[in-house]
């Protein structure tokens, strides 16, 4: 007998290939536990009336309590010492079919729809080369968690829930000086975008620094530079700590952030900046805040 386990997925296989189906089991979960993908479902079958293992005709219909078989393990058992080899599907599975089965599994397991599903599709495309079931499950779980936190709200509110660990970085900023605080928030958005894409951490926005210099003079720039450095440092720290706390791969959260921005740096940064609008209740402050995101990234 052997227990296969990858991340949250596991399956117990007897020496003869038998698998006792438990509530909540899917063939794609068995595939994830053994191969770290969701599409090697052709390797599982049922015992037919002839005493031979027959492939499961409908992979979406398996029943708790029934016995299925992992075909390569069963064949090796029957052959008494044969080397297990993956059973070949009746027809080669195309990349499009692999993607379809992967998305179908994650959509069903994590109950994703609408914008959540769009992010999952985007995330899959970002990491499809060498992607694994454990990575994709981490990403889908984060999307579902963020969606639950935001309820059935707008895209921006859902994104804000997913990005909540980032927004907490603003707590270090000086709440009494609105301009400095806003500049620090811009640093949070810029730093997060760079972190998500694996870019070097950016310095203060040259465009904004030029505007401040023209309006307040050179001496005032020191406070803005300090706000940027403090916010940028805290953002990176928060991101790394969030990944460690969740015990996830750093790449998984980076890919999710990229998916939130449709894998576009400027779009992600803008979404982050817009997410901060709730910090400013007064109309004049909110209008002033929009002044920060008309410069684009990484201007």
Running along the chain, 299 residues long, what does each successive block of 10 average in pLDDT? 91 94 94 93 89 86 94 86 49 82 92 88 82 88 71 51 60 64 86 94 87 82 87 88 86 90 92 79 78 77
Helix or strand (DSSP H, E) at 5: strand 2-6
Strand partners, 199: none
Token pair of 244 as six digits: 């460690």
Residue 175 is predicted with a pLDDT of 52
The distance of Cα 140 from the centroid of its chain, to the nearest Å, equals 6
Q: Based on the number of CB atoms within 10 Å of its own CB, is 165 exposed (0-12), middle (13-18) or buried (19 or more)? A: middle
Residue 91 is predicted with a pLDDT of 60
Residue 81 is predicted with a pLDDT of 60
Q: How far apart are CA 120 and CA 126, in angstroms?
A: 10
Q: What DSSP designation does 200 have?
A: P
Which residue has tokens 């595939």? 31
Residue 12 is predicted with a pLDDT of 96
Nearest-5° Cα angle at 239, 237 to 243: 115
Which residue has tokens 């270090």? 172
* Helical pair 221-246 and 206-216, crossing angle rounded to 10 deg: 150
Phi, psi of 10 (to 5 degrees): -150, 155
Nearest-5° Cα angle at 35, 33 to 38: 75
Residue 152 is predicted with a pLDDT of 43
Predicted TM-score of the model (pTM): 0.79
Torsion of CA 299, 230, 289, 282, to 10 degrees: 180
């Amino acid at each position: 007998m052997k227990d296969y386990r990858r991340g949250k997925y596991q399956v117990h296989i007897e020496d003869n290939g038998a698998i006792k189906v438990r509530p909540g089991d899917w063939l794609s979960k068995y595939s994830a536990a053994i191969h770290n993908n969701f599409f090697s479902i052709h390797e599982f079958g049922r015992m037919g009336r002839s005493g031979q293992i027959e492939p499961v005709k409908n992979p979406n219909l398996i029943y708790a309590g029934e016995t299925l078989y992992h075909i390569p393990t069963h064949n090796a058992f029957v052959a008494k010492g044969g080397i297990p080899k993956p059973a070949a599907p009746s027809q080669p599975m195309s990349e499009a079919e692999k993607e379809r089965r992967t998305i179908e599994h994650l959509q069903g397991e994590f109950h994703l729809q609408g914008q959540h599903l769009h992010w999952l599709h985007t995330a899959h495309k970002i990491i499809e080369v060498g992607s694994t079931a454990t990575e994709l499950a981490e990403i889908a779980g984060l999307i579902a968690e963020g969606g639950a936190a935001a309820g059935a709200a707008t895209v921006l509110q859902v994104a804000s829930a997913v990005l909540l660990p980032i927004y907490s970085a603003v707590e270090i900023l000086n709440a009494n000086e609105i301009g400095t605080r806003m500049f620090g928030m811009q640093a949070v958005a810029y730093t997060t975008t760079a972190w998500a894409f694996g870019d070097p951490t950016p310095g203060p926005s040259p465009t904004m620094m030029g505007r401040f210099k023209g309006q307040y003079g050179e001496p005032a720039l020191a406070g803005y530079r300090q706000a940027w450095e403090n916010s940028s440092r805290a953002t990176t720290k928060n991101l790394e700590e969030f990944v460690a706390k969740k015990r996830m791969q750093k790449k998984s959260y980076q890919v999710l952030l990229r998916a939130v921005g449709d894998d576009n740096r400027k779009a992600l940064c803008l979404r982050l900046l817009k997410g901060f609008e709730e910090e400013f209740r007064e109309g004049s402050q909110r209008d002033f805040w929009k002044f920060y995101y008309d410069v684009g990234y990484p201007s």
